[in-house]
């Protein structure tokens, strides 16, 4: 069965900045369909906005190609519920997307904003934990 996941923005940024890292491998697995990635419009907007931050020095071409790969691979969902479980309000969008999609995982490099191991049956895991799960 294909694992269903939502990737936090830090996974996308790490994948863009470090092509040899675990987040890049996880993104490749989503693009090739090994992992079913879910996104919402709010998540796509956040990915794009953060990728465009000057400190990351990513070209518009790199950002466009990355976002195209993500939108072609991911299933777009429209969350019907507002969640306020994370102390960082924008991180709740990832929980809302995962909940609407019936995803099993939210993958994040920032567990500080997800101070719980799971939310309503959705496992909150680090990139390394998710990579381990995929290898089982």
Model confidence, pTM? 0.96
- Looking at residue 87, its pLDDT comes to 87
Q: Enumerate domains of the chain plus CATH numbers.
A: 4-128 (3.40.50.1010)
Q: What are the pLDDT tens digits along the chain (136 aa)? A: 899 999 999 999 999 999 999 999 999 999 999 999 999 999 999 999 999 999 999 999 999 999 999 999 999 999 999 999 988 899 999 999 999 999 999 999 988 888 889 999 999 999 999 999 999 8
What DSSP element (H or E) covers 76?
Answer: strand 75-76
Q: Interior CA angle at 26 toward 62 and 93, to 5°?
A: 80
């Amino acid at each position: 069965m294909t694992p269903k996941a939502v990737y936090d923005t830090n996974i996308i940024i790490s994948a863009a900045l470090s092509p040899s890292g675990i987040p890049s491998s996880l993104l490749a697995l989503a693009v090739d369909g090994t992992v079913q990635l879910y996104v919402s419009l709010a998540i796509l907007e956040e990915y794009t906005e953060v990728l465009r931050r000057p400190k990351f020095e990513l070209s518009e071409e790199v950002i466009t190609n990355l976002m195209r790969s993500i939108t072609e691979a991911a299933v777009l969902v429209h969350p019907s519920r507002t969640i306020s479980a994370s102390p960082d309000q924008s991180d709740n969008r990832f929980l809302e997307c995962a909940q609407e999609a019936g995803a099993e995982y939210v993958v994040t490099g920032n567990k500080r904003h997800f101070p719980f191991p799971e939310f309503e049956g959705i496992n909150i895991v680090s990139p390394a934990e998710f990579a381990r799960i995929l290898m089982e």
